[in-house]
Chain A
Amino acid sequence: MGQFILRRVGVMILTALCLTFIVFWLTNLYPNLEKLAKTQGNFRMSEEAVESWLGKNGYLAPVPVKFGQWLGVMPGWTYTEEDGTERGRCIDGDTPADVAPTFCGIIQGNWGKSTVFKDDVSTIVGTRLAQTGKLMFWVMLVMVPGALTIGVLAGMKEGSKTDRTLSTASIMTTATPEYVSGVIFIAIFASSAVGLKWFKGTATSAMEDANFENFFLPVITIALYGMGYIARMTRASMTEVMTAQYIRTARLKGVSFPNIVMKHALRNALIAPFTVIMLQFPWLLNGVVIVETLFNFKGFGWTLVQAAGNNDIELLLAVSVVSVIVVLVTQLISDIGYVYLNPRIRIS
């Protein structure tokens, strides 16, 4: 087990490195840098001006070198202005040139500065993640118990009317992406023209003070899309368990049906959905981006859109590092959890 985890962590780090390098390379392509220079300097810059701006800010080094600087395994760039003041990657207002460290990358804890928000990337990502964490917490709280209940109810008696109804309902939710269900929900529940006006159509106010009125719609929009899939997986594993020999034995010796479901079937039926729930995280991340844009909730997904739309290189890199780590860690947990939960694998 220990070796398995160690190997998986190794592959994980390699994957994360490859992915961040790809993001780094794509964001550092010349047209992107040109756009960055023009938004930071001014829009009427000539080509030479762009070139010199990029040179002064260390963007013209080869990509692997810049990647090394960002990681913190290569010395950060420095540039001496004509008047003798020194500027560089590790030099800013608080740390003048003579005390600045040579290396300052993410290994040293320096995530850089956002060019759009004019703030430290680490603080931006931290606060935004906290907002999204709040959203995800409620999504999970609605989605997981809901999906498991629907799945177990549907899978208890395969082919029954409950099963048919619930299965069709879960197919419907998987067929409705967040931007469709969100739009429909806003039109029905929040529209000031024709709707019921039960909830608010934006969740901006939920960032400080989340309540039922402004937070329910975003939460349910994300939860619904994931719910159907988990419910179908739970149903599939429940129907499989319900046809197993030991369930038949239990029925023949006279155990009541609720007892069979709760005590005999449920534990085994929940192994597969566990992995599915964990593997849902990458999809939830997509949902978060869409819903945060739709409801104007300024969390992690919203930050991703802002960073990507404005080619804010260091913020975008931090966002991708975080999301890639979320994806990989949940994959790892799902693998370990599967082994741990399944006694057949754990004991052999």
Chain B
Amino acid sequence: MEMLSWGGIIGRVFLQFSPVWIALIVTFVISIAFKRNLGLYGKLFDSVIGMIGFALVMFWVYTALFNGVFGMIATHDPLSQVSGMKNKVPGIPLSGAEEGEYLYYLFGGDNLARDVFSRMVEGSVIVIQIAPLATLFAFMVGITLGLPAGYYGGRLDTLLSFAANLILAFPVILLFYLLVTPEIVATGIPSYMAAVLFLFPIIFLTILLNSRFFTQPALRTTLLIVVLSIGFWLYGSLVSEWGRGTWVDFLPPFLDGFNISGGILVVFVSVVFVNSPTVFRIVRGLAMDIKTRDYVAAAQTRGEGPWYIMLWEILPNVRGPLIVDFCLRIGYTTILLGTLGFFGLGLPPESPDWGTTINEGRKLLSIYPHPALPPAIALMSLVLGLNLLADGLREESLKD
């Protein structure tokens, strides 16, 4: 069989992504048709920058979705090695291909004879799984601590700000090296940190609902029972791993819904830990600004509780900057995940995530540049998309 030409490679890659293109077109057609009824999301389609950013982000989201759930995009298994394919250039036909196998390594083979294209696609699944969720957790922690710090001020503020500045003064890479080495994981510190950090979403939701429905005890109690039981089940499943014998492993196996593999949990925790102080500072600053407004004074005069004011008066009014920062921060989290992979921390060395693949590829970069470039460009395009999206959202939210 012959090598593919560059045109052939591009054509085949384009075809391989066809479910993504269809999904993107459908999303855009529907969104543009109804953009006047969709609030801030609809307004995004008024700005070219915002649309480009949204398209880039959704490209990777759909890629991860179709690949992770339906197994559609990737051409080969990201971990399987095929003899004779080591460091082969893009467009090489698969040696000894069997019936039903894809006939080419579209982006060539890496130094362990694995398919570069499939690894890039598989890497998007890892990023799309971790980055938004980790950012969301960081926001929950930052909001739960930042609102009272800004609203009450005083000692609480001094203490929390000091702690936040402490974490911020750490060089991120040093922190990662200290938290994510196998020796530290063996001491269980990351699981304890997970146990503390993952409490915050539950606390946040509980306070949020309690302060809103305080006056309707029946509704509040049912809501809280539902939320807390689901929350604690998720919490337990995430944190505990029966049989390790530490106090975080409280959930017996028959209740334990799922276990996150050690490496991913540690990476997740450290990324949340690094991101939350910054979110804390932003929320604190916004809360300090908003608490002097008249509607807050009005709520205080009405006799609303402090948490109601913080979560239902202040928080909805700072959503604009927070949404923009959320997009930017997902991008930053993606960069952090890549950094972790680049230094070989946390995730297993054969993991197809972009950082690890770049790290693998950089060692032979000057002879074989093709294994490192696809994940590098993929990471860049996702982060660029998120930044453009944030820029578009900022512009549109400032217009009204």
Interface string of B308-334 (1 = CB under 8 A from A): 000000000000000000000001000
Q: Is there contact, CB below 8 Å, between B172 and A286?
A: yes
With A29-B183, A187-B372, A319-B174: A175-B384 Cβ-Cβ less than 8 Å? yes
Distance of B90 from chain A, by nearest CB (Å): 11
User: Do B171 and A177 touch across chains, with their CB atoms under 8 A apart?
Assistant: no
B97 on interface, CB distance cutoff 8 Å: no
Q: Is the CB of B174 within 8 A of A201?
A: no
Shortest CB distance B333–A (Å):
12
Complex CA gap A29/B172 in Å reads 20
Q: Is B169 an interface residue (CB 8 A)?
A: yes
Whether A193 lies near B367 (C-beta < 8 A) is: yes
For B391, the chain A residues whose CB sits under 8 A away are 171
* B233 is an interface residue with CB less than 8 A from chain A: no
User: A201, B358: Cβ atoms under 8 Å?
Assistant: no
By a CB distance below 8 angstroms, the chain A residues around B250 are none
* Cα distance, A328 to B184, chains bound together (Å): 27
Residues of A within 8 Å of B342, CB to CB, are 179, 290, 293
Do B183 and A286 touch (CB < 8 A)?
Answer: no
- Please name all residues of chain B whose beta carbon is closer than 8 Å to the beta carbon of A175 when the two chains form the complex: 331, 380, 383-384, 386-387
Find out whether the CB atom of A183 lies under 8 angstroms from the CB atom of B366: no
Q: Which residue of B lies closest to A32 (CB)?
A: B183
A93-101, A110-118, A125-133, A301-309: which one contacts chain B? A301-309
Q: Are B367 and A323 in contact (CB under 8 A)?
A: no
Which interface residue of B169, B187, B331, B338 has the most chain A CB atoms within 10 A?
B169
A319 to chain B, nearest CB (A): 7
Nearest CB of A to B6, in Å: 12
CB pair A26–B165 under 8 Å, yes or no, is no
A74 at the interface (CB under 8 A from B): no
Write out the residue numbers on chain B whose beta carbons fall within 8 Å of the beta carbon of A171: 384, 387-388, 391
Interface string of B330-373 (1 = CB under 8 A from A): 01000100110011000000000001001101100111110011
Contact at B335–A31, with CB atoms within 8 Å? no
Task: Please state if B171 and A195 are interface contacts (CB–CB under 8 Å).
Answer: no
Cα distance A172–B385 when bound, in Å? 9
Contact B174 A184 (CB under 8 A): no
Q: Does B173 count as interface, using CB distance less than 8 angstroms? A: yes
- Does B376 sit at the interface, judged by CB under 8 A? yes
Which of A290, A293, A308, A323 has the largest count of B CB atoms less than 10 A from its CB? A308
The residues of A that contact B358 with a CB separation of less than 8 Å are: 179-180, 183
CA gap between A169 and B343 in the complex, in Å: 28
Interface of A is mostly: helix
Give min CB distance, B334 to chain A, whole Å.
9
- With contacts A32-B184, A187-B369, A282-B169 known, is A304 near B174, CB below 8 A? yes
* Contact between chains at B384 and A191 (CB < 8 Å): no
Specify which chain A residues have a CB less than 8 angstroms from the CB of B32 in the assembled complex: none
A285 and B366 within 8 A (CB)? no
- Rounded to whole angstroms, the CA-CA distance of A296 and B362 in the bound complex is 11
> For the complex, what is the distance from the CA of A191 to the CA of B373, rounded to whole Å?
12
Q: A320 near B: Cβ within 8 Å?
A: yes
Q: In whole angstroms, what is the CA distance A143 to B362 when docked?
A: 25
B166 at the interface (CB under 8 A from A): yes
A18 at the binding interface (Cβ < 8 Å): yes
Smallest Cβ distance from A238 to chain B, in angstroms? 17
In the bound complex, how far is the Cα of B339 from the Cα of A88, in angstroms? 40
Give the docked Cα–Cα distance between A281 and B169 (Å). Answer: 11
Q: Which residues of B contact A31 (CB under 8 A)?
A: 183-184, 186-187
Given A184-B373, A184-B376, residue A289 in contact with residue B173 (CB < 8 A): yes
Check if B170 sits within 8 Å of A324, measured CB to CB.
yes
> Are A285's CB and B171's CB within 8 A?
yes
Cα distance A15–B158 in the bound complex, in angstroms: 13
Contacts of B361 in A (CB 8 A): 183
Identity of the chain A residue whose Cβ is nearest the Cβ of B56 in the assembled complex: A175
Contacts of B384 in A (CB 8 A): 171-172, 175-176
Pairwise interchain contact A195-B183, C-beta atoms closer than 8 A: no
Which of B184, B359, B388 makes the CB contact (< 8 A) with A29? B184
| Residues in chain A near residue B178, CB distance under 8 A | 23, 26-27, 308
Known: A183-B358, A308-B177. A19 touches B166 (CB 8 A): yes
Q: Which 10 A-B pairs have the closest CB atoms?
A: A308-B177, A187-B369, A175-B384, A31-B183, A175-B383, A180-B376, A177-B335, A26-B178, A31-B186, A201-B366
A residues lining the B interface (CB < 8 Å): 11, 15, 18-19, 23, 26-27, 29-32, 34-35, 168, 171-172, 174-177, 179-180, 183-184, 186-187, 190-195, 201, 282, 285-286, 289-290, 293-294, 304-305, 308-309, 311, 319-320, 323-324, 327-328, 331
